Structure 1
Amino acid sequence: KYILKVDDDIVVNTFTLINHLKFLDKLNPDREQTILCLLWSAMTVMRDSKSKWYLSKEDFPFDRFPPYCSGSAYIFTGDMAAKMYNASLYVPFFWVDDYYITGAVASAANVSYTQLGSLYTVSEQIAHSRFMSPKAFYTIMFGHFPGSMNNMREIWRRILISQKYKYPTRVQSYSFSWDEKLLINEKNMS
Structure 2
Amino acid sequence: MFLKGKTALITGSTSGIGLAYAKALAGAGADVVINGFGDRQAIEAERLALEAASGGRALYCGHDLSKADQIEAMMIEAANFGGVDILINNAGVQHVAPIEDFPVDKWDLIIALNLTSAFHTSRLAVPHMKAKKWGRIIQTASAHSLTASPFKAAYVTAKHGLAGLTKTIALEVATFGITANCISPG
TM-score higher than 0.5: no
Larger Rg: 1
TM value normalised by structure 2: 0.29
Higher helix share: 2
